[in-house]
Amino acid sequence: MTSNVHPVALDRAYRLLNHGPTVLVSARHDGVEDVMAAAWACALDYDPPKLTVVLDNATRTRGLVEGAGVFVIQVPTVAQAALAHAVGTTSLNDSPAKLRNAGVELIDMPGHDLPFVAGCSAWLACRMIPEPSIQSRYDLFVGEVIAAWADARVFRDGRWMFETADPALRSLHYVAGGHFYVIGDAIDVPPLPDPA
Amino acid sequence: MTSNVHPVALDRAYRLLNHGPTVLVSARHDGVEDVMAAAWACALDYDPPKLTVVLDNATRTRGLVEGAGVFVIQVPTVAQAALAHAVGTTSLNDSPAKLRNAGVELIDMPGHDLPFVAGCSAWLACRMIPEPSIQSRYDLFVGEVIAAWADARVFRDGRWMFETADPALRSLHYVAGGHFYVIGDAIDVPPLPDPA
């Protein structure tokens, strides 16, 4: 990892997902690694931080998550739009060279046997909380965030800095058919006055 | 409603949430109406469309959703940032005039006994799918979208038009402490070439 990557306090980890970015999900099991894109990932709790993610039964990544019991949710950048779309529209089942063809480089984080995608703006290492009923009926998985990191050029002191960072580091927000939006300008709403 | 509001086909309704906007949740039960903001809402399925939303036990809205069994998820606009923050930081339990103070105007849609917030860009009428276990343990609610509408100035032909619409109609993406981001520019990633 480059020196820009720094740990994020667990009680601030929800902020990495709070604005609704499209994410990449990665996992490794029995020597197989896969990465997929997911627009349906969402914060679920603050502290300990939890999240939900929808993993379709047809994806290879889902089986790796179920097998390993751990996975990574990471936030791709504008510079990775083609990568995100590629891993979201090809399956490792059909294309064994999926990750190489998509330009995915996997990196390590000390102390975690997990495949992290290089070049993202934030990474959340998660432990799957088994919920067989909702996994089966809704393809919905619950994870507890056990560690988090971010690129200090765009997230530091517990907050995103999209308004001042390199625009290539902004988050992606997928709609459909290869059509993404990039996160935009900031708005600050002042606190409400105390009622009289 | 103004003439800009038009129905959205149910198999396109997921697109209203796919880019991860902060939403407003509204419900009515036993003559009580409430509206809250929620950053933790997410699409869950395509057709029939379903979604998840986290409703903290301390909110009055949660009790109304549980009582009525139906609720609305709507997408507020940049022009409603102060309204969204106000309904997200005050409780009807403490402030009976919450909705009036926040500037909320509730409107009807024909055929639905639900309180819709005027001025949003999209509305999803939902039926709660009872999941007592995850409601209790995670504050997580599942809804099936039974009807949807959008403001045709910013969503039409099944897609958002943020790049060409009035910027005041863009979606909000909340982080924390009154700090929102507005959805920004579009990126289109071309389809992958067929493998040789």
pLDDT, tens only, B33-84: 999 999 999 999 999 999 999 999 999 999 999 999 999 999 999 999 999 9
Q: Whose CA is closest to A149, among A184, A181, A110, A113?
A: A110
CB distance B162 to B186 below 8 Å: yes
- Tens-digit pLDDT profile for residues A154-163: 999 999 999 9
CB of A133 less than 8 A from some CB of B: yes
Q: Does domain A5-182 have CATH number 2.30.110.10?
A: yes
Q: Does A18 touch chain B (CB under 8 A)?
A: yes
The predicted structure's pLDDT at residue B196:
47
Quick check: B185 and A190 CB within 8 A? Answer: no
Half-sphere exposure of B115 (CA within 13 A, CB side): 21
- The answer, yes or no, to whether residue B191 has pLDDT greater than 90, is no
CB pairs under 8 A between A and B: 168
User: CA torsion A158→B54→B185→A184, rounded to 10°?
Assistant: -30
Tell me the mean pLDDT in the region A63-89: 98
Question: What is the mean predicted confidence (pLDDT) over A43-72?
Answer: 97
Q: A26-38 pLDDT, tens per residue?
A: 999 999 999 999 9
Q: How confident is the model at residue A75 (pLDDT cuts 50, 70, 90)?
A: very high
* Closest chain B C-alpha to A147 CA, distance in angstroms: 19
- pLDDT at residue A196 is higher than 90: no
- One-letter amino acid at A71 equals F
Set of chain B residues whose Cβ sits within 8 Å of the Cβ of A190: 178
Residues of chain B contacting A182 with CB distance shorter than 8 Å: 184-187
CB B148 within 8 A of CB B122: yes
ipTM of the complex in this document: 0.95
Does A181 have pLDDT greater than 70? yes
* Mean pLDDT over the full length of chain A: 96
Q: Contact B156/B162 with Cβ under 8 angstroms? A: no
Q: Do B85 and A189 touch (CB under 8 A)?
A: yes
Q: Which neighbouring-strand residues pair with A28?
A: A33
Parse chain A into domains and list their residue ranges: 5-182
Q: Which residues pair with B175 in a beta bridge?
A: none
CA distance B45 to B126: 13
- Residue range B117-171, pLDDT digits in tens: 999 999 999 999 999 999 999 999 999 999 999 999 999 999 999 999 999 999 9
Q: Do B180 and A172 touch (CB under 8 A)?
A: no
> Nearest CA of chain A to the CA of B154: how many Å?
14
Q: Looking at the predicted structure, is the pLDDT value of residue A179 above 50?
A: yes
Asked if B153 reaches chain A (Cβ–Cβ under 8 Å), the answer is no
Residue A159 pairs with which residues in a beta bridge?
A: A156
- pLDDT of A106 over the 60 cut: yes
A106-109 and A112-117 strand pairing: antiparallel
Please compute the mean of the pLDDT values over residues A35-57 and round it to a whole number.
97
From the list A15, A20, A45, the residue facing B21 with the nearest CB is A20
Tokens of B29: 């039960």
**pLDDT at residue B87, rounded to an integer:** 97
B50 contact residues in A (CB cutoff 8 A): 138
Rounded distance between C-alpha atoms, residue B177 and residue B32, angstroms? 28
Averaged pLDDT for residues A104-117: 97
CA distance linking residue B114 with residue B106, whole number of Å:
9
